[in-house]
Amino acid sequence: MTKIKFGTSGWRAILADEFTLENVRIVCQAISDYLKEKNETNKGVIIGYDTRFMGKRFAQEAAMVLAANNIKAFLCDRDTPTPVIAYYIIKKGLNGGINFTASHNPSEYNGIKFSPASGGPALPETTKRIEELANQMMGEIAYSELSFEEGRHRHLIEEIDARDEYMGELKNKIDFKIIKKAGIKVATDFLYGTSRGYLDSVLLEAGCKVTTLHGYLDPYFGGNPPEPAEENIKEISDLVAEDEDICLGLATDLDADRFGIIDSDGSYIEPNQIIALLLDYLIRVKGWKGGVARSVATTHLIDAVAKKHGIEVHETPVGFKYIGELITKDKIVIGGEESAGLSIKGHIPEKDGILACLLVTEMVAREGKSVKELLYDLYKQVGTIVTRRENIKLTLPQKEAFQDKLSSTPDSFAGLKIKGINRLDGTKFIMEDEKSWLLMRESGTEPVVRLYGEAESDQKLNHLMEAGKEFILS
């Protein structure tokens, strides 16, 4: 019997294989037991879900398990973005949240993500304990369950609309007057996910002309992974390129914690570049004070911007939970990951793709320039940095050989000597020019090795990435 295993963003598994009603009940019982161990059951838990097949049913099952454990369940009345769930936890002072989402994974997956009272992703020590409790119950009917009707009758299950509080909070974070004054036209792509009725509504309220794509339910997500990566959002890219009046394309993943940005000419802008641009904007234009956080896999363009403004850079392992801690402690202006997740000072310690899209909209509206123009302006000040990520699937023998190789590392890659090695998360080689680096790390959510690279030109980066692939596969 396969064990429950939490990765960097919760437990994810294939529907009807490992992700079954039985296993969901077991994991929810484990979460209930964990909360009882911590004596954190008196304020209740919000339960949400994305637009995946059976999401609402799984959420109802979770509510029934919590209710049987005398933990009040606040059940979302519709599919709900991850950042909305995070904000509701904080706003209402709840004990935590259970979110049924596999984020950007393909349609055959679902998942459970637990968030503690902080509103951010659970730390490894928390998910490890939930894993232990769940796996102790595997193969047994060791959970409690109250009927949905009885749970409501006892006021242990309450259906809620979490939208209004979050939408109100956006007005404290975004300068909608600037957006309204600009009167811009944008396109949005929801990828069949939860941000419909959120991102489009607030943009319309701000006076934007909005064209929307995929704002309806489709549990197969049009046959593509619901991730706003360049290869998955070509439809909105073509739309923006064809309509000269549209100045931005804005996309979110299924649970709206990741973003994708299309510039006015239809070109895709890397998340790494967006995070660096927003850091510069928040400090230079809005006058915010504080440091910046990035994961070990995220661009050093952020470091260059931080150096320009004289602020501290916090480097974290991969996983937004670590950046979320720094937001909770009010140490940073913005924190982000190359996988298109970010949040800002005074906001939730969780990725927020809706907020990211709105910040880019505000930046473009205020500056009166395209994203590319703003990026070129930034490059003139701090230098050009090019970055890339590739996923490399390995056979079991290749995986074992790769792990052995990392114990004795090479002296150089692509003609560049290795100056330093960072093992914060994976193995990161810092080259002697101090502008180039290569990171190799095994994914916590997929059976692949992720290869990340960065250099000051495409030509140098191509050589570096090819050398990295040869090292991994040979």
- Give per-residue pLDDT as tens, 420-459: 999 999 999 999 988 899 999 987 656 789 999 999 999 9
- From the CA atom positions of the chain, what is the Rg in Å? 22
Q: Worst-scoring range by mean pLDDT, 18-27, 60-69, 80-89, 411-420? A: 411-420
* CATH for the stretch 185-382: 3.40.120.10
Percent of the chain with pLDDT over 70: 98
| Residue 414 backbone phi and psi in degrees, to 5 | 50, 35
Q: What CATH number was assigned to the domain covering residues 386-473?
A: 3.30.310.50
Which sequence spans correspond to the domains of the chain?
11-164, 185-382, 386-473
Q: What is the pTM of this model?
A: 0.95
Identify the weakest region by mean pLDDT among 122-126, 349-353, 440-444: 440-444
Common-topology check for domains 11-164 and 386-473: no
136-187 pLDDT tens trace = 998 776 677 789 999 999 999 999 999 999 999 999 999 999 999 999 999 9
Top-level CATH class of 11-164?
Answer: alpha beta
